[in-house]
Structures are given as structure tokens and as C-alpha cells.
Amino acid sequence: MIEAVWSGSALILILLVLRAVFRKRIPQRVQYALWGLVLLRLCLPFSLFESRWSVWETAPDLAAMQHEVYVLPVGRYEIRPDAAAEIDGQTADANSFGYPVLSEDRGTVTRYAGKLSLGELLTAIWRAGAVLAGAWFLLVNLRFMLRLRQTRRPFQTDGCPLRVYVSDGVRSPCLFGLPRPAVYLTPQAASSDAARCVLAHELAHYRHGDHIWSLARVACLAAYWWNPLVWAAAVLSRIDSELACDEAAVRSMDASERLCYGRVLVALIPEQARRGGVIRGAACMAMGRKSMKERVLRIVHGSKTAVPAVLAVLIAVFAAIGCTFSGAAAAQEREEPVYTLTHLQNGRPQSAVLALTGGDAELAAQVISQSRLVSAAWEGPQPEALADCWRITVTQPDGTLQQHYAWQVSGNSALADGSAVLQSDGRYSRIGDELFARLTALTEDAPGHENLDLALRDAILSSRMDAYTPGVDMVNAESHVILGRHIEGDFVTVYAVVRTMWAGYEQGEIAELTGSHMPAVITLEKGSLEHAMAGGYSLAGYWTPEDGSRYEPSVREKFPEELADLALDLPAFAELQSRECWRQVAEEGRLNALDARLNGLLDSMMSSPSEASGTAAYIEAHREEYDEFLSYGDDALRFVYREFGKRLGARGLRGALLQCAMEDLLGSEAIPFDASDGLDYYEKFWNHALNLLDSTSKEFVAEHYPKTYLFLQMTTALGPSGK
């Protein structure tokens, strides 16, 4: 439906331009007929064909429509530790439902009954508005019909195929009704001379099918009630229908009859036009004074048709049809499989997934092909149990995956020691040692650029910190497939497909909260800032594609020609990269267990001595629990940051214990703030960390204040690019 809106609006704009330029040079019936194209396009929820010239190519990126918003607030209350409980990182009353959201000042919670994506919310508003508009338009037309029936009187005329009535309920003669339309005259139009002119006009409406088109126009207005371009098209098409009927009515009249027709038309102008005429399914003869001058001049002098103008309009219309009745051309389907290679140790990826192109892809195909020559059933080890193996993943054009594992085997009677083996579909095959050596060499780091994959992972995860929600238990995961790389001195530019994911709790289950999947170009510099990233790399540039119609062109401009098609073929990597992200999330599941352990230690420390004792007394009474809490190091510090970020349960005795733990875990980075409670200490530390970042640099904080740097990462103070 969005495609119909975008394309229909573009078609209306095109016709408005053509109407302004050629309205006096083309027949009125042609001008009126063009609006039928708009009606047809708005009624089609799909495109008829694909085209590179489609206006849908210019449509904005609709990813923002997936952003979720909270709707229907049902309550608001201040945060009170004694009246709230924490469930999966969310705030909940004992007898509440829905979605709680902290205010910006973190002092109140607003509970919403539902959560919808922005697209779902706008669709609901659209549909509700369409129902209300449709009901209103129906009521207007029913009232108009009842008024006509109550006031109409038959009018005798010869040679008219329609029923004709005189009614005091109309301000202008009109054609109205389905399935049996009738002509309704005003008392003023009931005289013989006027009736002849009026009937000629209304019969032209009947021949044009305007009693049907008028109702279709009303239905279109109800469906697109929010679109001003549709309203403009409805008003102008109604004017053009009258001009077309004037043209048809006077075509066979001589000069004196045309003059009489014009006088009748002027005499029938209502003193005050009734509002809302465009939402009535009636084809009226006189609408108002604004359009009357043009109509009278055309009646008296006729219209002059310019053949070149007609040809220009037809050419423009055919071009408009090609642009607006078409959808964006689909990406060219891949005909060859995509090969990716990963180095595994004990089932865990040890290097980036490498997409093989050119001769490297041919090598992978050759390895698989050779393995089929000698294949046998063999009870060998599972790849997940191997200390060292290489996985070849083949993504077929239809999207199906095939995985093969290659490794060195020894000590087996079925195969010679030192054999290179590849597993496929449960069968183990001998492959040449030379092929195996060439295959495994593909995942080796370039000389002088060790730990490149770790630096890439660090850069990607840092780039997505803007999606972190403070106080919410979330796990950041990433998967990158290297398509190619360019090394120049200490700089390495990596062309990759990057999948990122923030996973966390949603309605009690672990789900993907937000994420992205797109090509990326990442430039790293070796050795300039030793501690900025893993392996002594610093991030020199992180490029992602432009949105909307510029997406594909920007990728082709940035990527080498031989890699561009592969970078645009995201489905080839979707399943593989999603699996890797969820594997990382599963590994981080230990943090959930650690959180439970740390919460248990806090509860134990809070159990005794008496409430009148100071914080130090609780720690001394539970020295073993407190020392164990501190022993978890940065993981415990992350827990403290998250607990304070939630605000709830961060005051009183629990907040004081968290403050003590935070100061001890910070060590030399702790500042003895004069704080009223634990949460106040956290807020003062937050301001201190921001001031430190502003007065120095990210690199300085990372090197000299690593625990403060960890805090800045968790609170997204470093920004989306880590700056």
C-alpha cells in the first residue's frame, strides 16, 4: 500500500504539471481522462512490472518504520523502592501489566498498555481515519439522497433516456444515483430553454460514466483522507469533468446556441456554494464562480487543439506510466554459489569468516569436487571436538546451506596418517595435502597484521554502542564476513558484510532487540595507538551505505567492482551470520548466571547485622561474600554499572553496598565524592567521566582510565563511532 501512495502521489504531481502547461491546448476529454490513471494507481496495492526508472527507486528508507513506540499510557507513578520490584530488568508493580518506561529524569515510571512499531501505529491511525472518513462521506451522501427523494417531482421531457426530476433540495442541476441514475433540476432550470441545455450537459456526464466516477472519487478520498495531493486531484478532476461535459454538450451547437448555453450556465451559479461538494457522488453542472470565467470563454470561443501538444502529453503520460506503475527493479539473481571459509578451534571461530572470490572460490569448489572422488563412511570425530579445522560453507542460489569440514587426521587405520580429510553429509573423503595447505593458508593474517580479526570485532561492537539502553540487560554480538582487504603500510582497509545484534529480554524471553545487516568498509591503522584496540590498531574509518535510492549506487562506488555484487547479496550471508551472532549470545549467557550470583551475594550481605548498623558492619559480617563479589573484577563492575543504571533498588542499604563495591573495583580511578547515597555517587561519577572525556580524549581515557572507559562504553557516552 505504501508503494501505491508513493507512486500515486508522484503521478498526481506529474499530471498537475501537464495540466498547468497544456490545459488550453488539448481536448478537455483527454485532460479529464488522465485522472483515471491516478484513480487506477491508487487502487492498485502492487506494481505491474519492475523498472530501473521507477519512482519507487527514490522512496526513502523505511527502516525507521520498524522502530517501536509505546502507546496507550495507563498509569504513572514515582519510583519508590518499597513499591516496585525488578523483573528481567524492567519495573513492575505487583498488580500491573504492560510496559514500564523510565522518564528522562529517571524519577517516574509511565506504564503503557502496548508497544507497536512506528509503521504499525501509523497504519492503525490510517485505517481508523479511513473508517471515520468513509462513515462521514456515506452519511453525507445518504442525507443528500433522502433530501432529493423527499423534494423531487417528475419532469416531463421527450427523448431523454434518464428519469428527470425537479427538486428544491439541489442548488445546481446534477446527475446522481446508482444503479439507476437520474437527472435533478433546480426550479430555475425547469424552463424549456434552460432544461434543453442542462439535459445536454447531464447526458454528457452520463455518457462519460461520471455518476460512477464520482463515487469512486469519494471512496478514494476516504482511503487517502490524509493525503493533500489526493484531495487536490479530486477537486481538479471534478472541474475537468465539467469542462469535458461542456465541450461535449456544445460540440454540435451553433454560435447562438452556444451563447444560450453560456447564459444558462451563468444563471445557474449558486449564490453560495455548498461546502463538501467534492465528497458527494453527484455530477453537478454549476459549481461556483471561480471556474465559471474559463468555462464561459471555452463555450463561446471553443477550444483550440494543438496536435504537437497532444503528442507531447501522450509521450509524457506513457513515460509517467512507466515510472509510476512499476516497482523497483529486483537485484540480479545470483547464479553461482557463494563460498565462505572459517578457521575453527574446538568449534569456535578463530578468524573472520572469509568470502572466497575468483581463484579462491575455485579452490574451494575444487576441494569439494576432489573429495567426492574418494569417499567412505568412517566413524571420525565431530568437527566441534577438533582442536583445529576449517569449515567451508556453500550458499546455493536458492539460499540453502551446505557445510564441509577439513582437517588433518592421524592415528586411524582407515586412512593414512597425515591425511587431509573433508567431511560432507556424514562421509569422510581424502583430499590432497597440497589442496589442504592452499585452503588453510587463506585464513592466515597478512604479515605484520596479526589479530586483525579481533580489531575488526572491537571496531564493529564499538560502532553499535549507540543502540545500548542503560539499565537494560543486553548482549552485543557481531559477525563479519571479509569479502576482501587492501593493505598499504600500516593501514588495512577491509571490505565486509557486517551483522550486528543487541539481544536481551522481551516479554520474558531472549530475543533480538535491535540489529543491522549491511556492507561496511572498515579502515584500521596499525601501531599508532597501541592500546586503542586489540592488536594495537586504531579505527581510521568506518563506512556504511547511504539510505534509500542511494544504497546500491553508494555500495558500488565504495567497493571494488569484483566485490560489489557480493556485498549487495546479503541473503547469501544472512543465515550464516545470524547463527554466529546467536552463538555469541549463548556464550554470554553466563553473565545472566553471574548476575544471579552477584544478586545472591548482595542479598546475603544485607541479611545481617541489624538495620541500625553501618555499611562497613555488613561488609565485615560477610567478608567472604564481599571478597567473592570483588573477585569477579570487570564483570562485577559491569553489574554495578547496570544496577545503578536501572535506578530502582540502587538506594538505601543495597545502594550503599553497591557504592562500596564500585569504589573498590575502580581502585585508583575511584574519586571520594561527597555523596548522599549510592545513586548520588554514581551520578557524580558519571559527570566526572564525561568531564574527563571532554578535557582529554577517548584514547587517553582508554589507556590511563580503563575502568572509566568501560563505564563510558556502557553508557554510550562515546557516541556511535566511539569518538
Give how far Cα 710 sits from Cα of 233, 588, 642, 665, 686, Å: 58, 17, 12, 12, 12
Helix H or strand E segment including 126: helix 118-151
State yes or no: pLDDT of 203 exceeds 90. Answer: yes
Domain boundaries defined on the chain = 122-313, 354-385+397-441, 452-585, 590-714
9 and 38 in contact (C-beta within 8 Å)?
Answer: no
pLDDT of residue 140: 93
Q: How many CB atoms sit inside 10 A of residue 89's CB?
A: 17
Residue with cell 477550444: 303
Q: Is the pLDDT confidence value at 294 over 50?
A: yes
Distance in angstroms (rounded) separating the CA atoms of residues 450 and 533: 12
Report the DSSP pairing between strands 174-176 and 283-284.
antiparallel
Residue 111 amino acid letter: R
Tell me which residue of 680, 626, 687 sits closest to 657, measured CA to CA: 626
Q: How far is 233 from 29, CA to CA, in rounded Å? A: 16
What pLDDT was estimated at residue 134? 95
User: Cell digits for 59?
Assistant: 522512496
What is the pLDDT at residue 596? 67
Copy the grid coordinates of residue 419. 591425511
- Residue 693 is placed in which grid cell? 572525556
The percent of residues above 70 in pLDDT, for the chain, comes to 80
- Averaged pLDDT, 363-392: 74
Checking if the pLDDT of 390 tops 80, the result is: yes
The predicted pLDDT at position 94 comes to 40
In this structure, the number of other CB atoms found within 10 A of the CB of residue 357 comes to 17
Amino acid at 433: D
C-alpha cell at 325: 506503475
d(Cα 475, Cα 500) in Å, to the nearest integer? 11
- Determine the Cα–Cα distance for residues 315 and 217; give it in Å rounded to an integer: 26
First-to-last CA distance in the chain?
Answer: 41
How far is 582 from 265, CA to CA, in rounded Å?
A: 74
User: What pLDDT does residue 369 have?
Assistant: 81
Q: Which pLDDT score is estimated for 350?
A: 67
Best mean pLDDT range from 51-60, 381-390, 457-466, 658-667: 658-667
* β partners of residue 537: 526
Mean pLDDT of 665-681: 87
CB under 8 Å to 275, separation ≥6 — which residues? none
Q: Which of 13-17, 431-435, 514-518, 637-641 has the lowest mean pLDDT?
A: 431-435
Distances in whole angstroms, Cα of residue 499 to Cα of each of 97, 189, 493, 540 = 34, 73, 18, 20
Q: Provide mean pLDDT across the span 522-540.
A: 71
Q: Which helix (H) or strand (E) holds 190?
A: none
Question: Interior CA angle at 492 toward 487 and 497, to 5°?
Answer: 110
How far apart are alpha carbons 639 and 662 in whole angstroms?
Answer: 10
How would residue 235 be classed by pLDDT, with cut points 50, 70 and 90?
very high
Which residue in this structure is represented by grid cell 465559471? 292
631 vs 135 pLDDT, higher one: 135
Average pLDDT over residues 346-362: 78
- The least confident of 22-36, 101-115, 371-385, 421-435 is 371-385
Output the pLDDT for position 593: 58
Q: In this structure, are residues 512 and 502 in contact, taking their beta carbons and an 8 Å threshold?
A: yes
Local structure of 287: helix, strand or coil: coil
Q: Please count the CA atoms within 13 angstroms of the CA of 354 that sit on its side-chain side.
A: 26
The whole-number pLDDT of residue 612 equals 56
Give the confidence band of 376 by pLDDT, cuts at 50, 70, 90.
low
- Torsion angle in degrees (nearest 10) through CA of 98, 104, 107, 108: -30
Write out the H or E segment, with its range, that includes residue 511.
strand 509-526
Residues 287 and 20: their CA atoms lie apart, in Å, by 20
What is the average pLDDT across 573-586? 80
For the chain, the average pLDDT equals 81
CA contacts within 13 A on the Cβ side of 410: 3
Q: What percent of the chain has pLDDT over 90?
A: 24
**CA–CA separation, 410 vs 275, rounded Å?**
91
Residue partners of 318: CB distance under 8 A and separation at least 6? none
State whether residue 81 is helix, strand or coil.
Answer: coil
The x, y and z cell numbers of residue 300, run together, are: 463561446
Q: Confidence band (pLDDT; 50, 70, 90) for 441? A: confident
Structure confidence at residue 607 (pLDDT): 82
654-669 burial by CB neighbour count: b if 16+ within 10 A, else e? bbbbbbbbbbbbbeeb
Indicate if the pLDDT at residue 361 is higher than 70. Answer: yes
524 with 482: CB under 8 angstroms?
Answer: no
The reported pLDDT for the residue numbered 723 is 34
Lowest mean pLDDT segment, chosen from 215-224, 304-313, 341-350: 341-350
The answer to whether residue 476 scores a pLDDT higher than 90 is no
Each residue's pLDDT tens digit, 72-113: 787 777 765 444 444 333 444 444 456 677 676 667 778 777
pLDDT tens digits, 55-78: 877 777 665 565 667 777 877 777
Residue 17 pLDDT level (bands cut at 50, 70, 90):
very high
- Higher-pLDDT residue of 518 and 374 is 518
How far CA 519 is from CA of 62, 421, 465, 495, in Å, comes to: 18, 34, 18, 8
pLDDT for res 218: 94
Question: CB within 8 A of 684, min separation 6: which ones?
Answer: 671, 673, 675
> What's the pLDDT tens digit per position in 120-168?
788 889 999 999 999 999 999 999 999 999 999 999 888 889 999 999 8
Per-residue pLDDT tens over the stretch 587-625 = 776 546 567 678 878 888 888 786 556 888 889 888 888
- Spatial separation of the C-alpha atoms in residues 330 and 319, rounded to whole Å: 20
Alpha-helical runs (H) found in 152-286? 192-208, 210-223, 228-249, 255-267
Long-range (24+ apart) CB contacts under 8 A made by 230-236 are 230/8, 230/9, 230/12, 230/42, 231/278, 232/12, 232/16, 233/12, 233/15, 233/35, 233/38, 234/278, 235/278, 236/16, 236/19, 236/35
The x, y and z cell numbers of residue 562, run together, are 569484483
